[in-house]
Homo-oligomer: A and B are copies of this chain.
Amino acid sequence: MEKNLDNVEYLALSGGVGGAKLVLGLSQILAPEKLIVVANTADDFKHIGLNISPDLDTIMYTLANLNNSELGWGQTKETWQFLDALGRLDQETWFKIGDRDLATHIVRTTKLDNGETLSQVTKELCFSLGVKHQLIPMTNDKVATVVHTKSGQSIPFQQYFVRDRCVPKVRGFEFQGIATAAPSPSFLKSLESPKLRLIIICPSNPYVSIDPILRMRGVLDLIAERRIPVVAISPIISGQALKGPAAKMMEELGELASAIGIAKHYRTLYRDMLTGFIIDEKDRRLEADFTEMGLRAIATNTVMVTLQDRINLAQEVLRFGSRITI
């Protein structure tokens, strides 16, 4: 079959903040029909009666140029009157919902209650906000991450992540509902599309953002059948996560808090799924270790401060992906 480069698709698997940065870069160089972004929904939860999808919203706001770059989550030009009034009514306010952000949750909840799927709702929200690229939830079913801690407590993810500020030491994760959750139809369609050329695993937390996506039934098998490159970008640079608790989790789980540790995690869980790995230029000395592992790796700048950084990394990812043969 002749490869028509005008007729290819790229699939990005993403969590929140870090992943959204790369997704924005990809959206700047790929036409809407060429990029499919699948977001983790295992940290979705119901809070004060609202259906909240943190990763979907972070990516959607980022693509709509509405994200709050100071906070890293929520909407730009946000205010907090609702939260203040909620506190006045003696309610818990640890989960910070801004006045503008709230509209998204209200609309999502109403539409879900009316029987729409999360995929449909996401499509409509994206349409309203002018997001042209395809953003789809990993599943329309309920999956809920529970954090098992070393103290023996099991904590719903957002409580661990936001309320407890990732302080409890992690023993492991459980994705309730993952065994029966079906990948969303658009996700499946993308995995089965003859146009699909590359799967990009964004620089997101492997444990709580990427693992849920890959662990849904059928996903790994479909990826293996495709025989196309799967490239991951390390969320760990010089042993540290730019954002979020990935490095802390790795240490607590007894894994090596480094790009190598990330690659080993994916290798251990998903055998030979990974065909390429992108590390930061500060970790260039690790390239030899990857060669030893039998995994193609390149080093480049992965710290995305400016929009151009995001575009540059996106270009590196596509270039690297096109060079890998399976």
Binding site for B on A (CB under 8 A): 48-50, 75, 78-79, 81-86, 88-91, 98-104, 106-107, 109-110, 113, 125, 128-129
The answer to whether A82 touches B109 (Cβ under 8 A) is: no
Which residues does chain B contribute within 8 Å of A86, judged by CB atoms?
103, 106-107
The answer to whether B103 touches A85 (Cβ under 8 A) is: yes
The answer to whether B81 touches A100 (Cβ under 8 A) is: yes
Which residues does chain B contribute within 8 Å of A103, judged by CB atoms?
82-83, 85-86, 88-89, 91
Interface secondary structure of A, over-half rule: helix
Which residues does chain B contribute within 8 Å of A78, judged by CB atoms?
81
Q: Given A48-B110, A79-B81, A81-B79, A129–B88 Cβ distance below 8 Å?
A: yes
Which residues does chain B contribute within 8 Å of A50, judged by CB atoms?
106
| Shortest distance from the beta carbon of A140 to any chain B beta carbon, whole Å | 19
Report how many copies the assembly holds. 2
CA distance A49 to B129 in the complex (A): 21
Known A48-B110, A79-B81, A88-B129; 5 more pairs at CB < 8 Å: A48-B106, A48-B107, A82-B82, A84-B100, A88-B103
Q: Given A89-B125, A99-B99, A49–B84 Cβ distance below 8 Å?
A: no
| Shortest distance from the beta carbon of A100 to any chain B beta carbon, whole Å | 4
CA distance A287 to B86 in the complex (A): 49
Across the A-B interface, the 3 shortest Cβ-Cβ residue pairs = A85-B103, A81-B99, A85-B100
Contact partner of A49 (CB less than 8 A), chosen from B75, B82, B109, is B109
The answer to whether A107 touches B84 (Cβ under 8 A) is: no
CA distance A144 to B177 in the complex (A): 39
**Sampled A-B contacts (9; CB under 8 Å):** A49-B109, A79-B81, A79-B99, A86-B103, A86-B107, A89-B128, A89-B129, A91-B107, A99-B99
Which residues does chain B contribute within 8 Å of A89, judged by CB atoms?
103-104, 107, 125, 128-129
| Shortest distance from the beta carbon of A139 to any chain B beta carbon, whole Å | 23
Which residues does chain B contribute within 8 Å of A98, judged by CB atoms?
81
Most B CB atoms within 10 A — which of A79, A84, A106?
A106
| Shortest distance from the beta carbon of A99 to any chain B beta carbon, whole Å | 4
The answer to whether A75 touches B82 (Cβ under 8 A) is: no
